[in-house]
Amino acid sequence: MSDEKAKLIIGDKTYEFAILEGTVGPSVIDIRSLYSQTGLFTYDPGFTSTAACDSSITYIDGDRGQLLYRGYSIDQLAEQSSYLEVCFLLLYGELPSAAQKKDFEERITRHTMLHEQMHYLYRGFRRDAHPMAIVCGVVGAMAAFYHDSTDITDPEQRELASIRMIGKMPTIAAMAYKYSIGQPFVYPRNDLSYAGNFLNMCFAVPAESYEVNPIIERAMDRIFTLHADHEQNASTSTVRLSGSSDANPFACIAAGVACLWGPAHGGANEAALNMLRAIGTPDRIPEFVARAKDKNDPFRLMGFGHRVYKSYDPRAQVMQKTAREVLDLLGVENNPTLQVARELEKIALEDEYFVTRKLYPNVDFYSGIILDAIGFPTSMFTAIFALSRTVGWIAQWKEMIGDPQKKIGRPRQLYEGVERREYIPLAKR
């Protein structure tokens, strides 16, 4: 806590509030007693200036374009670590030893199969259902199948639910994809890596063998790592708010999936690739940039801008490098979509509108190009984001549930409706 106090003067009264300091980043004014002292609420729709919790998991410096998972920078983790190692780091706070890593990977691998009865759940959906609609439904339904890991007061059940969620999410997402294209489900294989198993479940068919391309496997694993966690973003805040009512972990993660689906959030990767395809050729970029700047046009450059990053999203930088590598290694020369993306980025970053608003490409701008090159339809992009972010949601949920100061989240409002009035019987209306 800082020695300095925050002073609020209202009328002839001065109120003092403690200033709490973190290890790095902005300090916070502790206003928990504001309403009881002043009878006033703060007002911050969109939470642009509000810290909803304290956390030790992920730190973002939006001005310096820095993202740290438990203190390790995202570029080092993307380059040198692996997704399951990052999962261990996010969940338990430290990089695993060799023995811990082996044990954790085995525990996750042993929980990749879904209850066989859940296959019938998929059959209830239309074949053309959006994969996110299926993933959201199936994740929520896990509470109907895994009763021995829904008691949030039992640390062992919380741990089992965490491992199950991380282990089964690739299977759930892959099955949603297979169902949407009318192909048979492919069971998980314990001899494959986490990313390799996901690729196999998506692209293998009974009619012939499928070889996991190690370059694509590495790119997939890196995409998982880049999306793993991101502080108190909209979907993570949704998971925390859901968890604050002691709802079971599967219901909380399903809520996170639902929130992530929005095009302003995780749905932006699908929208960004659709936008790049709609632009089609570099000569049409000015038309779309003009629309993005036109206040009367709801169109925005998808994959651009961020609430926190007011400089380059470090994930976008790694993603751009990975896109180049994957396309080169796949022999995809002069990918028109990548050409449009790079030209659009160049034009936007020189345009006064984007410069003054500090709008840079975010994690969603390049990811779709890689996923498209690997062979995924755009409808699967956000499901892959959800798969990757499951560990972040789980880690943040566990941190909140384990916090002795946990309280149910219950924001207030500025009421602007009509005041009390008497009921008017129908005969008199």
Binding site for ligand SDX (CB under 6 A): 230, 233, 264-266, 268, 292, 300-308, 357, 359, 362-364
Closest to ligand SDX by CB, 210 or 353 = 353
Asked whether the beta carbons of 123 and 139 are under 8 A apart, the reply is no
Residues 384-408 as b/e (b if ≥16 CB within 10 A, e otherwise) read bbbbbbbbbbbbbbbbbbeeeeeee
Task: Give 334's DSSP letter.
Answer: T
Asked whether the beta carbons of 329 and 376 are under 8 A apart, the reply is no
Q: How many CB atoms lie within 10 A of CB 230?
A: 24
Closest to ligand SDX by CB, 265 or 324 = 265
Q: How far apart are CA 148 and CA 143, in angstroms?
A: 9
Q: Catalytic one among 227, 306, 313, 372?
A: 306
Q: How far apart are CA 332 and CA 324, in angstroms?
A: 9
Q: Answer yes or no: 75 catalytic.
A: no
Q: How far apart are CA 349 and CA 307, in angstroms?
A: 17
Q: How far apart are CA 123 and CA 32, in angstroms?
A: 48
Phi and psi, residue 401, nearest 5°: -60, -35
Q: Answer yes or no: 191 catalytic.
A: no
Closest to ligand SDX by CB, 144 or 264 = 264
Number of residues that make up the chain:
429
Closest approach, Cβ 314 to ligand SDX, in A, equals 11
Closest to ligand SDX by CB, 227 or 398 = 227
Q: Catalytic one among 221, 313, 364, 372?
A: 364
Phi and psi, residue 408, nearest 5°: -65, 135
Asked whether the beta carbons of 114 and 173 are under 8 A apart, the reply is no
Tell me the residue number closest to ligand SDX, measured at CB.
305
Give catalytic residue positions.
306, 364
